Chains A and B, each alone.
Chain A
Amino acid sequence: MRGLIRTAVAFGAMGFVGIAIVASWPIAEPVHLGMLAGDAYRGAYLARSGGCIACHTGAAKGGAALSGGAPLDTPFGSFVPPNITPDPVYGIGDWTLDQFAVALRQGVRPDGKAYYPAFPYEFYADLSDQDVADLWAAIQTVPPVPVAAAESDVSFPFNMRWGLKLWRAAYLSPAKISPVMGQSPDWNRGQQLVTGPAHCAACHTGRNMLGGLKESEALAGNDNLPGGSKAPAILAADLAAKGWTVANMAYSLRTGVMPDGDVFGGGMAEVVQAGTSFLDEADREAIATYLLDQPGTPAPSGTPIADAGMAGMVHTPGMQMNVD
């Protein structure tokens, strides 16, 4: 709480000059995808793996696909995932592919303002141009819904979007995923899903007072999830101690049944029902393979050690499909 107060004071003290400067400080980097054609199936698969469908559809209330999701309650306020159907007025139908790419990978709105990290764009930062075009194509298959989603209800000072630029400067940690030498293709695919679009860390990694992910505690659990639930640690040692194996985790990510016979509750039940149960079996096994095979130390396992000139293992953005 003291942290919050201090920040509020800091925001206040900066005064108008500071606000004016920060507010006009451009944050988006230009992208040029042009008319890149997308593959709707690939995009739909990615939209499932990435949780777009889960968050932006109010399934529990019978809402239409992508027409706006259930509010996410956080200490900063309640964030409503907006309508992202192709409706030109209430959705994103009048956006360009480039604007969509900037929103998704950089978290910046078409008007240059920042999105709140409740939209987990940090995890989408490493999607390739093709991935973005695929998602765009998939979104076009959804009927436009001409109804506005509810407004987010965010408390002062967090309702000042310009403040997010400071937040970004301090905490933004965009995913950058490089294959790790010596690990199997399965493991690397798992790394890509877990640290990228499947955004497991969004819940399983703790956050600081201002909602920034604590990178040193990656996947070590989070006791403060929206709605007051807890996500346990999913580090290899913790998982092994609870009897998780690649086979039973892949099964669990499809059915929700844990090795002790309990069935996931809270956010995890939704992750399975609206997300991982739609994945190919190979991808569920890849996720499990990656999570269960980590170096014993809490040192940031799975942190890219590539990009060091190892042939064929350099960083390339984007999701490969595990199908062929």
Chain B
Amino acid sequence: MPDYGHDLTFGTFITPTNAAPAKVVELAKTTEAAGLDLATFQDHPYQAGFLDTWTLLSYVAAQTERISLSANVINLPLRPPAVLARAAASLDLLSGGRFELGLGAGAFWDAIAAMGGPRRTAGESITALSEGIDIIRGLWDTSTRERLVVDGTFYQVDGAKRGPAPAHDIQIWLGALKPRMLRLIGRKADGWLPSLAYIKELSDLTASNTTIDEAAIAAGRTPGDVRRLLNIGGAFSTQRSDRLLAGPPEQWAEQLSDLTLEYGFSSYILSGDDAQAMMILGQEVAPAVRELVRAERGADETDATPAVGL
């Protein structure tokens, strides 16, 4: 099942360097001006050279009007899930439903521990992430008055009040490459957010999709419940090349529509902090990809609506 039929969105991956905060905010505004859909920032709270991602997301949300915002991705070990859930709901309420939650299990354990955070094995970190998702979704869910109890190994809540509910169904996207995380995505998440730079062979993507799809089906969901997002990098030039995302906008459009039709990706998030490239992505590449994909999907599917998580 290569193409999951999600609507296409395009965004940016902006380095949150604190040396020139105004430039970072400016790039988010450029994202909006370029007609893109989403601005994202990496989250490494142990990295003293970066702005705090949560603060930045909130500040930038106040300074923009239309784009969605997400971390790419939140460092869960340093951001306890119960407060995170309320913070996310609050940002979604303040921004009128413009927030999505990219989450990560944590990777740089020395640095996390140096900040007073926990040190977890890969397996533990995935269990913790899964527990964190349960807490976050539980706190967002005000449709029930049932007492919220998550008695996890790493996180516990016991009777914490539910709410506030976010303004829209915030999507939870997980950054991941390995099978265990992919299965967690299939079970519980709304999106898979890998980076193209870390993918060795395109064929690996097919295998990963399959893992996610099978886990989704096993959990009683459908593969379409999981959006596939991709962090991309590249260079625009006048010359076509035989490399991925190194060439003119038309070549980018062809390659991205292939990634959509053959590998199921529907969101492309561009790194590089290059305002000009952002404009080209928004003004030239995005419309062309949408056109190519629409033509391929056929008239009956042109108004494909985004799949909603369970």
Our verdict on whether A and B bind, yes or no, reads: no
